Amino acid sequence: MEKVLSDKRIITLYVLPGLLLIIGLIYVPIIQTAYYGLMKWDGIGAKEFIGLENYKTLIKDDIFWKTAYHSFLLAVFSALSLIIYLLISIVLAGKIKGADFFRKIYLIPMLLASVAIAQLWLKIYHPTNGILNTLLGSFGVDNPPSWLADPKIVLYAIFIPILWQYAGFYILIYYAALKNIPESLIEAARIDGATAWQIALKIKIPLIMNVIKVTIVLAVVGSLKYFDLIYVMTDGGPNGASEVMASYMYHKAFRGFDFGYGSAIGFFLLVICLVVTWLIRKLTAAKEEITY
Amino acid sequence: MKTEAKQRIPSVSVDNRLEVFSHPAMQKASKGILYVILAIVAVFQIFPIVWLFLFSLKNNQEVFNMSPFSIPTDPKWENYAKVWTEGNISQYFLNSVVYTVAAVILTVILASMVTFAITRMKWKLSNLALGLFMVGLMIPVHSTLIPLFSTFTAINLVDNPLSVILSYTAFNLPITIMILLGFYQALPREVEEAAVMDGASLNRIFFRITLPMTSPVIATAAIINMIYNWNEFVFVNTFISSDQYKTLTVGIQNFIGQYTTDWGAIGATLMISILPILLAFLILSNRIVEGIASGSVKG
């Protein structure tokens, strides 16, 4: 049996197609991105090697740092929203009838295309016929802000659909983790006189800390990659107030035809994603594994 | 219920103040508040979609002159018929179906083969191969976009459905393998090992035994893939320029650009684009929940 199960021919036949695809379409392009980042290139003509020139420009590019700051803000908002999701999940995972129904309802926005979500929220934010301003009007707010046209507000306005879209995803993850906690542990704490609040804070949250860490990574790295929603809702506007790293890269390369500079941004984005993933894991590394 | 709670409170001594909260009536009241909170969240999550459905059935007169919350008195189903026949929506829809189905089948088969080789066969580099697939989960699509575009241009695959299908497959392989992996590892190997003993070939074992035995997780992986592919935007937006090859996500962008003031048409277009996902959710919600959970936190 050993011999059959280590048949090199079969292993190659089974692994190679998938491996070639991810090497060809994910890993080789990353190396190319790093390489193109050293070029002056309009995407059509010849590439001209200019060394680290694009990266020097990048470091001095105020607009790039503004987009990085926007991405950073969205990452912070996303991480903070995890607290809300966690609280809802703790409520949901208590003895709630219909918990399954609720978490499924919450999940629906997450299944829709970001493009459709963006179009829908453009309508929700519509100055005269959207539901938001109509609702505010009925509460007596006659002069609501122009949500997506005001550079000071636009990033917050864009974050609301993001909050809406991902709520069900994180609640689902937390709910599953909370349901995995043995009931006996919680029962024991209850008998000892712990309040529901204490049980949540001192028992439930520490026990699912590993899952919480993973969700922090997912939320932060995910928000560094936001593109579709912003591209459709504001296209980075007004005047760059909602431009993020991914959309800036896209605009530089596919509209400005500066593929060399776009590649430098793309590579920078990759490095940031990997570093942030590593950093969060390091910072939140468990001192000891929790086992029940 | 409330009066009952009030009557009890004075009789509780100061030392036992906390006992008030464990009084059944009090517990019922706080549970009630929790339900109200959960229900508000549910309304926040679901209402925008209901509202979309409402305005997809209105004409502009109703949209601009009546409350956005009003129910359309005379539902304009013709909005759907109009966008379906005008403006390529049926073509985009068909393309979305074809790309989604092709990529799902390709991804699930390739991922199953890889997972089979990694969990069932013995080879030195299996951990390295698995590592390559798993690291792929962390790579942002945008960091690969420019080289993919230039490579597809060089080999004449730009503006060709194949570029989209191959990209979907490559970028979904990692998460699909991740979903399959847990199931394969938990699945007893006895049946497969017995077949090896009986002298069956590995190909036969994979196609006749392993694939059928893993069909529940294949269904889960397939539905997750379907959702991802159906909703994908940036690959199609970058690689495809002809209208005849565009998918719904990109197509509705153009279409809505032309119809910026016709809310009914926009609503109907968006409803058509999300309907397959909503239907899949209605029928397969358990599988979707399971797939999202197993594809996200096993790290």
- Residue by residue, what is the 3-state secondary structure of A217-265? HHHHHHHHCCCHHHHHHCCCCCCCCCCCHHHHHHHHHHHCCCHHHHHHH
Q: With beta carbons less than 8 A apart as the criterion, state whether B96 and B230 touch.
A: yes
Q: What single-letter DSSP state applies at residue A39?
A: E
Tokens at B98, concatenated: 């074809």
Residue B66, in any domain of the structure: no
Cβ–Cβ of A18/B44 closer than 8 Å? no
Q: With beta carbons less than 8 A apart as the criterion, state whether A34 and A268 touch.
A: no
Q: What's the rounded Cα separation, in Å, for the pair A40 and A46?
A: 9
Cβ–Cβ of B42/A249 closer than 8 Å? no
Q: What single-letter DSSP state applies at residue A49?
A: E
In whole angstroms, how far apart are CA B199 and each of A235, B184, B205?
61, 22, 10
Tokens at A88, concatenated: 């809802």
| Residues sharing a CB contact under 8 Å with residue B170, sequence separation 6 or more, in sequence order | A21, A22, A24, A25, A26
CB contact A103 to B (< 8 Å): yes
Find the CB nearest A266 among B122, B145, B193.
B145
Beta bridge partners of A39: A49
CB contact A257 to B (< 8 Å): no
CB contact A274 to B (< 8 Å): yes
Reported confidence tier of residue B9, pLDDT bands at 50, 70, 90:
very low
Mean pLDDT score, B27-43: 88
Find the CB nearest A225 among B140, B171, B288.
B140
pLDDT above 60 (res B13) = no
Q: Indicate the average pLDDT of chain B.
A: 86
Q: Domain check: are B10 and B105 in the same one?
A: no
Interface of A with B in 194-233 (CB under 8 A): 195, 211, 214-215, 217-218, 221, 224-225, 227-228, 231-232
Mutate to test the interface with A, among B96, B142, B259 (most CBs of A within 10 A): B142
Q: Domain check: are B101 and B239 in the same one?
A: yes
Q: With beta carbons less than 8 A apart as the criterion, state whether B205 and B192 touch.
A: yes
The domain of A255 spans 62-283
Domain tally, chain A: 1
- Nearest-Cα residue of chain A relative to residue B22: A195
Q: Domain check: are B250 and B134 in the same one?
A: yes
Q: What's the rounded Cα separation, in Å, for the pair B199 and B207?
A: 15
Chain A residues in contact with B248 by the CB 8 A cut-off are 113
pLDDT above 90 (res A198) = no
The per-residue pLDDT for B1 is 40
- Nearest-Cα residue of chain B relative to residue A166: B45
ipTM, 2 dp: 0.88
Q: What's the CATH code of the domain at A135?
A: 1.10.3720.10
Residue B123, in any domain of the structure: yes
Least confident of A63-77, A254-268, B58-72: B58-72
Cβ–Cβ of A25/B170 closer than 8 Å? yes
Give residue-wise pLDDT tens across range B266-287.
Answer: 999 999 999 999 999 999 888 8
Q: How far is A151 from chain B (nearest CA, A)?
A: 23
Reported confidence tier of residue B155, pLDDT bands at 50, 70, 90:
very high
Q: What's the rounded Cα separation, in Å, for the pair B125 and B133?
A: 13
Q: Domain check: are B213 and B84 in the same one?
A: yes
Tokens at A144, concatenated: 């609501």
Q: What's the rounded Cα separation, in Å, for the pair B144 and A4?
A: 38
| Residues sharing a CB contact under 8 Å with residue A281, sequence separation 6 or more, in sequence order | A213, A217
- Nearest-Cα residue of chain A relative to residue B203: A10
Chain A residues in contact with B270 by the CB 8 A cut-off are 116, 119-120
Tokens at A122, concatenated: 């453009």
CB contact A29 to B (< 8 Å): yes
Q: What is the CA radius of gyration of chain B?
A: 26
The per-residue pLDDT for B23 is 67
- Nearest-Cα residue of chain A relative to residue B287: A104
- Nearest-Cα residue of chain B relative to residue A257: B146
Say if residue B197 is exposed, middle or buried (CB neighbours under 10 Å; 0-12, 13-18, 19+): exposed
Amino acid at A236: G
The per-residue pLDDT for B20 is 52
Q: How far is B51 from chain A (nearest CA, A)?
A: 8
Q: Domain check: are B275 and B144 in the same one?
A: yes
> Rounded to the nearest 5°, which phi and psi values hold at B23?
-60, 135
Residue B171, in any domain of the structure: yes
Q: Collect contacts of A12-18 with beta carbons under 8 A, ≥24 apart.
A: A13/B113, A14/B113, A14/B114, A14/B116, A14/B117, A14/B121, A14/B206, A15/B113, A15/B114, A15/B117, A15/B118, A15/B129, A17/B110, A17/B113, A18/B110, A18/B111, A18/B113, A18/B114, A18/B133, A18/B173, A18/B177
Q: What's the CATH code of the domain at B267?
A: 1.10.3720.10
For residues B299 and A140, which has the higher predicted lDDT (pLDDT)? A140
- Nearest-Cα residue of chain A relative to residue B250: A115
Q: Domain check: are B33 and B99 in the same one?
A: no
The per-residue pLDDT for A140 is 84
Domain tally, chain B: 2
Is omega for the bond preceding A109 within 30 degrees of 0, making it cis? no
| Residues sharing a CB contact under 8 Å with residue B130, sequence separation 6 or more, in sequence order | B118, B177
Q: Domain check: are B50 and B98 in the same one?
A: no
Q: What's the rounded Cα separation, in Å, for the pair A72 and A270?
A: 15
What sections of B139-262 are H helices per DSSP? 142-154, 161-186, 190-197, 202-205, 211-213, 215-231, 234-239, 248-258
Q: Domain check: are B166 and B278 in the same one?
A: yes
In whole angstroms, how far apart are CA A159 and each of A135, B135, B186?
19, 28, 40
| Interaxial angle between packed helices B89-120 and A8-22, expressed in degrees from 0 to 180 and rounded to the nearest 10 | 140
Residue B140, in any domain of the structure: yes
Cβ–Cβ of B289/A104 closer than 8 Å? yes
Cβ–Cβ of A119/B121 closer than 8 Å? no
For residues A145 and A2, which has the higher predicted lDDT (pLDDT)? A145
Residue B139, in any domain of the structure: yes
Find the CB nearest A228 among B37, B49, B234.
B234
Q: Domain check: are B121 and B236 in the same one?
A: yes
- Nearest-Cα residue of chain B relative to residue A175: B293
Residue B188, in any domain of the structure: yes
| Residues sharing a CB contact under 8 Å with residue A240, sequence separation 6 or more, in sequence order | A63, A66, A67
pLDDT above 70 (res A122) = yes
Of B193, B190, B187, give the one whose Cα is nearest residue B213.
B187
Mean pLDDT score, B79-97: 89
In whole angstroms, how far apart are CA A187 and each of A67, A167, A190?
49, 29, 5
The domain of B15 spans 2-56
Say if residue A27 is exposed, middle or buried (CB neighbours under 10 Å; 0-12, 13-18, 19+): middle
CB contact A90 to B (< 8 Å): no
Residue B74, in any domain of the structure: no
Q: What is the CA radius of gyration of chain A?
A: 24
In whole angstroms, how far apart are CA B101 and each of B161, B165, B182, B223?
12, 9, 24, 10
Find the CB nearest A120 among B34, B41, B270.
B270
Q: Domain check: are B32 and B163 in the same one?
A: no
- Nearest-Cα residue of chain A relative to residue B111: A18
The per-residue pLDDT for B299 is 37
Q: With beta carbons less than 8 A apart as the criterion, state whether B68 and A148 touch.
A: no
Q: What's the rounded Cα separation, in Å, for the pair A170 and A218?
A: 10
The per-residue pLDDT for B137 is 86
The per-residue pLDDT for A118 is 93
The per-residue pLDDT for B138 is 86
Residue A3, in any domain of the structure: no
Cβ–Cβ of B38/A246 closer than 8 Å? no
Residue A151, in any domain of the structure: yes
Mean pLDDT score, B115-122: 92
Q: Domain check: are B137 and B30 in the same one?
A: no
Q: Domain check: are B127 and B271 in the same one?
A: yes
Reported confidence tier of residue A187, pLDDT bands at 50, 70, 90:
confident
Chain B residues in contact with A246 by the CB 8 A cut-off are 140, 142
Find the CB nearest A105 among B42, B114, B288.
B42
Q: What's the rounded Cα separation, in Å, for the pair A276 and A78?
A: 14
| Cα–Cα–Cα angle for B55, B58, B63, rounded to 5 degrees | 75
Give residue-wise pLDDT tens across range B141-150.
Answer: 999 999 999 9
Amino acid at B159: D
Residue A24, in any domain of the structure: no
Sign of the CA dihedral with A120 first, then A109, B172, and B134 last:
positive
Q: With beta carbons less than 8 A apart as the criterion, state whether A150 and B88 touch.
A: no
CB pairs under 8 A between A and B: 273
Reported confidence tier of residue A195, pLDDT bands at 50, 70, 90:
confident
pLDDT above 90 (res B75) = no
Residue B221, in any domain of the structure: yes
